[in-house]
Chain A
């Protein structure tokens, strides 16, 4: 084992003096699934946006496989190997399911203008392998049969699975999932859980924000609890569940 895949150190984010995230540490090893929970407004999404490069941190460092990524723009962070699915479903509305996932699958492919205009050289083979990877990712979330359906008319749960498949198809080092089970039916949640477990088997690390506590406790070996921008617990699901600070943050006193 060669050090953590994602190492977040003393990261803070202030919005006009308001500290949304304060001095948070977070370490994820290869193939580890880390749960991130906390009440509404705890700073989970802000932390996600910091890691994904959507926002620059006010202070602290974020390292992916040992190299600093804090402050890099989101498309560069994505190419370095961090792939995310948003809390609100963001799909490419004019495309079919498989086309959406192909955009994820081509994340590591150089977009050559010459090849695009002429379709010369390995174009067909490359295109075929992009499509194959996309279909595999759709298969992983149980949506292979809907590959050629336009996403615009899909039910919300299916759209969310497609968004997860798109993030998976990039074969990232770290997968960020923001409430991937929200709005999913029970069988769809099972498919999602299976897809996340399969991703871990391929060595993908996962950071999972989720309100479905059952899912978090089942999948994660490691759970972090945020409250008011600060980390209040960090440990195994059982330890976190037993923590007084967590009970206080969720239930009040």
Chain B
């Protein structure tokens, strides 16, 4: 028991992701449609995994994730287009900008909890979206067009060439989140969610821990923003839309809030299925809603709960 540390187990999930990656790598060489599907799935994974960190692992129900996603994309666009900074360097700048913004907004807003926190963060997200739409400096309702391309040794990474960038970025985000959860800080985060007074009695600053996880989670949303910016290279204020946050939230709830493997499975399924089944955007929202109801009725702990059950039965059989 004590000679087998806890951090070796979830490598199974990492292996699955790498396997998926190699499968995808085989496909994108020939098919741009698959490439776009893989890139958008990778971006959504970064968003749902990081949102799950804030809303699930730390239990702070926030609805501002799209604002930081959009912020990451727009900061990347401004740096690349107005300031002529290399698209690669835009990544740390986007992370830094979102982290700083999260710190500034988090100090006052994370004093709220429950419905108030959800409402407060939603209001913040809506205000940001409106401001962005109205700002000529940010391109108003049109946003940004024709951003420079990501390049490696003067080879532009577009279309299928973007797949490795997206998948590697997504894997790095996964590793960072998994590392965080399996660390003293990760235990402190779960402790403040489960029982704040007991966490404080163990020397944990509840306020500081909540703020830290919010800043990390939103900084990761900015990574997704950066990924999106240099893939599409045309940005619109829709990136800031709260409807995106709600979509990720539904994916997260279906996956099982706070359960990383479940959220990953749910994101992959729900990103690929509508495309493969040919469901239109409007019907997608409807389908997600129906799926949500089914999950609440038959698997209230989501896909992650089913995975837990399978694990515990296989353990008790063995």
Q: Using Cβ atoms and an 8 Å threshold, which residues of chain B touch A109?
A: 184
* A25 interface contact, C-beta 8 A: no
Q: How far is the CA of A147 from the CA of B1 in the complex (A)?
A: 9
* A79 interface contact, C-beta 8 A: yes
With contact pairs A95-B190, A103-B187 given, residues A108 and B203 touching in the complex (Cβ less than 8 Å): yes
Q: How far is the CA of A112 from the CA of B200 in the complex (A)?
A: 17
Q: Using Cβ atoms and an 8 Å threshold, which residues of chain B touch A93?
A: 194-195
* B212 interface contact, C-beta 8 A: yes
B198 contacts which of A86, A99, A108 (Cβ < 8 Å)?
A86
A74 contacts which of B7, B176, B201 (Cβ < 8 Å)?
B201
* A2 interface contact, C-beta 8 A: no
Chain B, interface SS category: helix
Contact digits for B177-195, partner A, Cβ 8 Å, 1 yes 0 no: 0011001111110110111
Q: Using Cβ atoms and an 8 Å threshold, which residues of chain B touch A108?
A: 203
* B197 interface contact, C-beta 8 A: yes
Classify chain A's interface size.
35 or more
Which residue, of B190, B191, B199, B212, has the highest number of chain A Cβ atoms within 10 A? B191
* A131 interface contact, C-beta 8 A: yes
Q: Could you tell me which residues of chain A, from 46 to 101, have a CB within 8 Å of some CB in chain B?
A: 52, 54, 73-75, 78-79, 83-84, 86, 90-95, 99
With contact pairs A94-B190, A148-B1 given, residues A83 and B201 touching in the complex (Cβ less than 8 Å): yes
Q: Using Cβ atoms and an 8 Å threshold, which residues of chain A touch B176?
A: 117-118
Q: Using Cβ atoms and an 8 Å threshold, which residues of chain B touch A123?
A: 183
Chain A, interface SS category: helix
* A116 interface contact, C-beta 8 A: yes
With contact pairs A78-B203, A127-B5, A170-B203 given, residues A106 and B187 touching in the complex (Cβ less than 8 Å): yes
Q: Could you tell me which residues of chain B, from 1 to 54, have a CB within 8 Å of some CB in chain A?
A: 1-2, 5, 7
In the complex, the chain B residue whose C-beta lies closest to that of A93 is: B194
* B206 interface contact, C-beta 8 A: yes
Classify chain B's interface size.
20 to 34
Contact A112 B185 (CB under 8 A): yes
Contact B188 A124 (CB under 8 A): no
* B205 interface contact, C-beta 8 A: yes
* A104 interface contact, C-beta 8 A: yes
Q: Using Cβ atoms and an 8 Å threshold, which residues of chain B touch A75?
A: 199-206
Can you sample 14 A-B contacts with CB below 8 Å?
A74-B200, A75-B200, A84-B201, A86-B198, A92-B190, A94-B190, A95-B191, A103-B188, A107-B203, A116-B183, A117-B216, A118-B176, A119-B183, A131-B5
Binding site for B on A (CB under 8 A): 52, 54, 73-75, 78-79, 83-84, 86, 90-95, 99, 102-104, 106-109, 111-113, 115-119, 123-124, 126-128, 130-132, 135, 147-148, 166-167, 170
In order of increasing CB-CB distance, the 5 nearest A-B pairs are A116-B183, A90-B198, A107-B203, A78-B203, A116-B185
